[in-house]
Amino acid sequence: MPTIVVDVMPKAELLDPQGKATTGALARLGHDKFENVRIGKRFEFTVDGEVTDAVLAEVRQVADEILSNSVIEDVVAISVDGEAR
């Protein structure tokens, strides 16, 4: 069955406290090569049947309206079986 992946990240212009804390913790543990870490969400949708344009449009709508909070987050990528759409 095809898998649609939706990636949601905190907006670039906003502070990501979770990522900031992770960056600091990694540095304290000796992993100081990383300038910055940001943490977002990854959704995997399994679709029964073919991924048509209608299905993709529905995923896009769900991603924008339900899975992400557009005030603080961006939908950065939607891909089908590894291919960006």
Q: Which is nearer to a second copy, 19 or 80 (CB)?
A: 19
Chain positions contacting a second copy, by CB under 8 A: 1, 7-9, 19, 22, 25-26, 29, 31, 33-49, 55, 58, 62, 66-67
CB of 71 to a second copy, least distance (A): 19
β-strand pairing of 83-84 with 73-80 = antiparallel
Question: Phi/psi of residue 53, each to 5°?
Answer: -60, -35
Give residue 77's Cα distance to chain centre.
Answer: 7
Structure tokens at 65: 């309206």
β-strand pairing of 3-10 with 73-80 = antiparallel
CB of 33 to a second copy, least distance (A): 6
CB of 35 to a second copy, least distance (A): 4
Q: Which is nearer to a second copy, 71 or 77 (CB)?
A: 77
